[in-house]
């Protein structure tokens, strides 16, 4: 931890905040990445595969309606207007089926889907040719043509139609499989995002706990010690021989060194004052001693001077006369 003690307050605060910020950024990136991944897969399902399945189902319905219109022409006693209506329905549903399967193929670049689509086109062209022959035979109106149409419709044309529908079913299954894969991938993305977020959040929590314990020890502890020592000095109870412990080269360490320097200078000043006071006290004692000796000498010399002095003559008192 010496390297940490030597860092300035700016770096001591900047490093933890940067780590916490990096943790938050990592959480945000994980959340955005997870959401984007799920969104991409959801858009793919919604914009590509769901419409594809709808196109296939609609095309299958159109093919069946076209087949129904074709075989309805074999019913007895059909007038010309009904026959024309059935021909229109047959042609219209056949065209719609072809258009919808084409839209389905335009949404996909998968090689398997393209191969199945190519097989479907071959079978569709063959069935359309056979089905148009059936409709043409029904339109002739005679019994022989009608029998040929029935034989062709329920024979070769029916076999080709079944194979064509099998290809459509395969395309539907492939599309549903792609949807299932995307759903599994989305679930995997969610699981990965949850795991990553949990790990980062746990690391961030541990980091916050470490910082909550370490920062007071690195910053608040030395400050309290310094405040206590300065308080003792301010109250006049400080020991000028004690120095503030400085373990680092940060601002607190520099402050401790400056205070220690001040205390050293103050200690030297006080020690000089004490020494000067002792010298002055000694000099004063000597002066007092000399003064005492001088006084004793004066006291001894005073009686001798009095005994040597001559006595003055006494004068009689004056009398005052009264009148």
Q: Comparing 109-123, 222-236, 307-321, which segment has the lowest mean pLDDT? A: 307-321
Give tens-digit pLDDT for 25-81.
888 888 888 888 888 888 888 888 899 999 999 999 999 999 999 999 988 888 889
Are 197 and 243 within one domain? no
Tell me the two tokens of residue 301: 């010399």
Give tens-digit pLDDT for 82-130.
989 999 999 999 999 999 999 999 999 999 999 999 999 999 999 999 9
In a domain, residue 254? The reply is: yes
Give exposure, 86-98, as e/b (b: 16+ Cβ within 10 Å). bbebbbebbebbb
**What pLDDT, on a 0 to 100 scale, did the predictor assign at position 34?**
85
Residue pair 134/157 in contact (Cβ under 8 Å)? The answer is: yes
pLDDT at 323 over 70: no
**What pLDDT, on a 0 to 100 scale, did the predictor assign at position 4?**
61
**What pLDDT, on a 0 to 100 scale, did the predictor assign at position 40?**
87
Are 190 and 245 within one domain? no
Give tens-digit pLDDT for 140-197.
888 899 999 999 999 999 999 999 999 999 999 999 999 999 889 889 988 988 898 8
Q: Within its chain, how far is the Cα of 245 from the centroid?
A: 40
Helices (H), 141-250: 143-154, 156-215, 221-234
Are 60 and 192 within one domain? yes
Are 193 and 268 within one domain? no
Using 50, 70 and 90 to split pLDDT, how confident is the model at 322?
very low
The DSSP H or E segment spanning 253 is helix 251-308
Are 210 and 257 within one domain? no
In a domain, residue 319? The reply is: no
Are 200 and 257 within one domain? no
Rounded to a whole number, what is the largest CA-CA distance in the chain? 214
Are 160 and 283 within one domain? no
**What pLDDT, on a 0 to 100 scale, did the predictor assign at position 121?**
94
Task: Give the range of the structural domain holding residue 247, as residue numbers without chain letter.
Answer: 239-299
**What pLDDT, on a 0 to 100 scale, did the predictor assign at position 249?**
66
**What pLDDT, on a 0 to 100 scale, did the predictor assign at position 320?**
45
Are 207 and 268 within one domain? no
**What pLDDT, on a 0 to 100 scale, did the predictor assign at position 238?**
59
Total residues found in the chain within this entry: 323
What's the CA angle centered on 159, arms 154 and 164, to 5 degrees?
A: 125
What's the CA angle centered on 199, arms 211 and 194, to 5 degrees?
A: 140
What CA–CA distances, in Å, run from 144 to 20, 79, 103, 148, 158? 89, 18, 40, 6, 20
Are 162 and 245 within one domain? no
Please enumerate, as own/partner, the contacts of 155-162 that have beta carbons within 8 Å and a separation of 24 or more.
156/130, 157/127, 157/130, 157/131, 157/133, 160/123, 160/126, 160/127, 160/130, 161/63, 161/67, 161/127, 161/131
């Amino acid at each position: 931890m010496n390297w940490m003690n030597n860092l300035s307050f700016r770096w001591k605060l900047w490093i933890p905040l940067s780590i916490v910020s990096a943790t938050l950024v990592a959480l945000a990136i994980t959340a955005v990445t997870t959401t984007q991944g799920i969104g991409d897969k959801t858009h793919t399902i919604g914009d590509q595969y769901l419409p594809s399945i709808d196109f296939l189902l609609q095309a299958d319905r159109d093919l069946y309606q076209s087949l129904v219109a074709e075989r309805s022409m074999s019913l007895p006693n059909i007038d010309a207007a009904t026959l024309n209506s059935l021909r229109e329905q047959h042609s219209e549903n056949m065209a719609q089926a072809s258009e919808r399967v084409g839209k389905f193929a335009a949404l996909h670049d998968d090689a398997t889907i393209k191969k199945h689509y190519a097989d479907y086109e071959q079978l569709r062209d063959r069935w359309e040719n056979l089905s148009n022959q059936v409709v043409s035979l029904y339109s002739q109106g005679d019994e022989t043509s009608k029998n040929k149409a029935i034989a062709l419709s329920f024979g070769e044309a029916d076999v080709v139609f079944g194979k064509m529908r099998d290809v459509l079913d395969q395309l539907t299954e492939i599309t549903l499989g792609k949807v299932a894969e995307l759903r599994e991938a989305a679930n995997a993305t969610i699981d990965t995002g949850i795991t990553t977020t949990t790990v980062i959040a746990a690391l961030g929590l541990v980091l916050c706990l470490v910082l909550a314990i370490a920062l007071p020890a690195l910053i608040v502890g030395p400050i309290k010690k310094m405040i206590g020592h300065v308080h003792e000095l301010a109250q006049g109870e400080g020991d000028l021989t004690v120095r503030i412990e400085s373990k680092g080269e940060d601002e607190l360490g520099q402050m401790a060194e400056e205070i220690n320097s001040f205390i050293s200078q103050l200690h030297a000043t006080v020690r000089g004052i004490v020494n000067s006071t002792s010298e002055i006290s000694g000099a004063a004692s000597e002066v007092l001693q000399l003064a005492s000796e001088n006084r004793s000498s004066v006291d001894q010399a005073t009686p001798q001077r009095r005994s040597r002095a001559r006595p003055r003559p006494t004068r009689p008192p004056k009398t005052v006369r009264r009148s």
